[in-house]
Chains A and B, each alone.
Chain A
């Protein structure tokens, strides 16, 4: 009888974990793709629908998501792809190397390898954990939205509105201007953009600071960073982001990574996320804020 009790207890605790492990991102898959495969964070049910709060297993609960739509990508009246929608994913989280083609490795300079080794000893210094912006092309667990500002002739600006972390926006100049010759370094840099064949939004960015980490591994970059993002709405619910990264201060050559964002569920919208409000990160683990004076 006691053996039966032991077996039942173990089974009850392990089955949910095994089920959850099967849902974990496949090894080597980009984080955004892995999230998307599950329907994406924030997808599924809008706030007005019945909450998906059902029976709890050992230490968690299945949160159901609506399937990602696969119809054709919508178009604007002039035929340009319409990027409107709330998106999840689309960039690195755990490791930017996950966006490389299979078999490729990051062309890290020796100095960059040293920085990664150092950051591995102080992973809680990742600025992102302390309510600092994620930079480019890093993704977050929170959705984002493309917003275009038009005149009667053409778009002048594109904004990417990020719910978190932190509540922030990127500004992309769509009016044909060039990058200024000299820029003060910033978290999101100076971005200019255009549509390639009305199918792909191209964003070219320079003028970054060197503060954000590309990923949790601490992959570094310098102020020489130059990114070229190519956002293509493959279908209604899927957005592909092909990112070329060039930084002679950190990498021996330019390299390409590919990420996928998934459309959030119907009714989902950007919500407020003021990270600085009550950030108690570090207390539970005994870590100090590296940015505190």
Chain B
């Protein structure tokens, strides 16, 4: 157990150091580049809206259901990367990896969405300013 915890801490600290080097304002004022999450649940709502597409995931933990508000890039940025408004549908089982909100509970900046049929979807824009995004805005 101690070993696994050590691995987790090491990985999180490395992610944090990477994030600190290239994070920019709009991401860092909203999300914590060191607070990663990986959650699995069912999509309960999809908002194909500007400025950010959002989808909501019902996550069951310890017998209790919590709804997470997941932020993606803009519809246009996602469309340019192959998404459509029908890529995620209510009821889809997904695994989401991303960065948690700095303040609000159950909000996340989703970077990776893995669908039940195995598709791996990048949720940001190619050059956005989240850790790893490599952009300025």
Contacts and interface: CB of A to CB of B under 8 A. Distances in A.
Given A25-B134, A41-B127, A59-B111, A280 B54 contact: yes
Contacts of B126: 38, 41, 63, 65
Contacts of B14: 10, 13-14, 17
A71 interface: no
Contacts of A275: 50-51
A109 interface: no
A60 B19 CA distance: 13
Nearest to A139: B137
A31 B137 contact: yes
A35 interface: yes
Contacts of B40: none
B41 interface: no
A283 interface: yes
A271 B112 contact: no
Contacts, number: 204
B50 A278 contact: yes
Interface string B44-70: 000101111010000000000000010
A52 B54 CA distance: 21
Interface residues of A, number: 70
A56 B132 contact: no
Nearest to A34: B136
A53 B112 contact: no
B10 A10 contact: yes
Contacts of B90: none
B50 A274 contact: yes
Interface string A149-181: 000000000000001110000000000000000
A252 interface: no
Given A9-B10, A56-B112, A285-B29, A51 B135 contact: no
Most B CB atoms within 10 A — which of A44, A54, A58, A165?
A58
Contact of A164 (B24, B50, B79, B134): B50
25 contacts: A6-B10, A10-B14, A17-B131, A20-B22, A21-B134, A25-B134, A41-B135, A56-B114, A58-B15, A59-B15, A59-B132, A63-B126, A93-B136, A141-B125, A141-B128, A164-B51, A164-B74, A271-B75, A273-B51, A274-B50, A281-B26, A284-B31, A284-B103, A284-B107, A286-B104
Across the A-B interface, the 5 shortest Cβ-Cβ residue pairs:
A51-B82, A61-B122, A284-B101, A286-B103, A17-B18
Interface of B: 3, 6-7, 10-11, 14-15, 18, 21-22, 24-26, 29-31, 36, 47, 49-52, 54, 69, 71, 74-77, 79-83, 97-99, 101-104, 107, 109, 111-112, 114, 119-122, 124-128, 131-137
